[in-house]
Amino acid sequence: ISDDEDDTHPNIDTPSLFRWRHQARIERMEEQKRDKEELNKKKA
């Protein structure tokens, strides 16, 4: 398994892979934002 970003599996079309990665990143960011807001509520 190579961790070279450009070395994509031939059966995966790049646009959908890119979309999937982008979606995952957005979801992670949303989750972190929620966690931060939860912490702020607990502090208050």
Q: Tens-digit pLDDT profile for the chain (44 aa)? A: 555 556 656 666 788 888 999 999 999 999 999 999 999 999 87
What is the secondary structure of 27-43 as a DSSP string? HHHHHHHHHHHHHHHHH
Whether 4 is in a domain gets the answer: no
Q: What predicted TM-score, i.e. pTM, was given to this entire model?
A: 0.54
Number of domains in the chain: 1
In a domain, 23, yes or no: yes
Nearest-5° Cα angle at 30, 25 to 40: 140
Q: What residue numbers bound the domain in which 26 lies?
A: 13-44
